[in-house]
């Protein structure tokens, strides 16, 4: 399961998971997203695409590495941790094994 959190326009933060869309898209997509999260370092840029938001507030997400400065890069890794709470109000993604959390800032 992959998770991402991003600030809402109103106050608060919601968590979103990618299990349904990623697993529905096939194992290759899950591997790509998991590898992108596990291999990203502080300063790395990512292309994070959100799928449909479900009634429980969860969303599907796909994460791929992107070159910083490219039009594909929409988030940059600002820290790596094992606990999403360390990201505060920042967006975050978590790998399938729940042992790598990336805190993210939007690139624009």
Q: How far apart are CA 51 and CA 33, in angstroms?
A: 14
Q: How far apart are CA 13 and CA 84, in angstroms?
A: 12
Is residue 105 scored above 70 in pLDDT?
Answer: yes
Torsion angle in degrees (nearest 10) through CA of 9, 80, 35, 12: -20
Number of domains in the chain: 1
**What CA–CA distances, in Å, run from 16 to 12, 22, 69, 97?**
13, 12, 26, 15
pLDDT tens for residues 48-88? 988 777 675 656 678 999 999 999 999 999 999 999 889 99
Q: pTM score, two decimals?
A: 0.72
pLDDT tens for residues 16-59? 333 323 333 344 467 788 899 999 999 999 999 887 776 756 56
**Higher pLDDT, residue 12 or 3:** 3
Residue 37 burial (10 A CB sphere; 0-12, 13-18, 19+)? buried
First vs last C-alpha separation in the chain: 27
State residue 46's pLDDT score: 96
**What CA–CA distances, in Å, run from 51 to 19, 42, 57, 59?**
11, 25, 12, 6
Domain span at 18: 3-106
């Amino acid at each position: 399961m992959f998770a991402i959190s991003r600030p809402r326009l109103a106050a608060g933060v919601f968590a979103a998971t990618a299990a349904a869309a990623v697993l529905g898209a096939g194992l290759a997509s899950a591997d790509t997203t998991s590898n992108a999260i596990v291999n990203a370092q502080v300063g790395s840029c990512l292309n994070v695409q959100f799928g449909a938001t479900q009634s429980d507030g969860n969303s599907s997400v796909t994460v791929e590495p992107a070159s910083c400065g490219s039009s594909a890069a929409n988030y940059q890794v600002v820290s790596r941790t094992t606990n999403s709470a360390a990201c505060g109000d920042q967006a975050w993604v978590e790998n399938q094994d729940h042992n790598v959390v990336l805190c993210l800032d939007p690139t624009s």
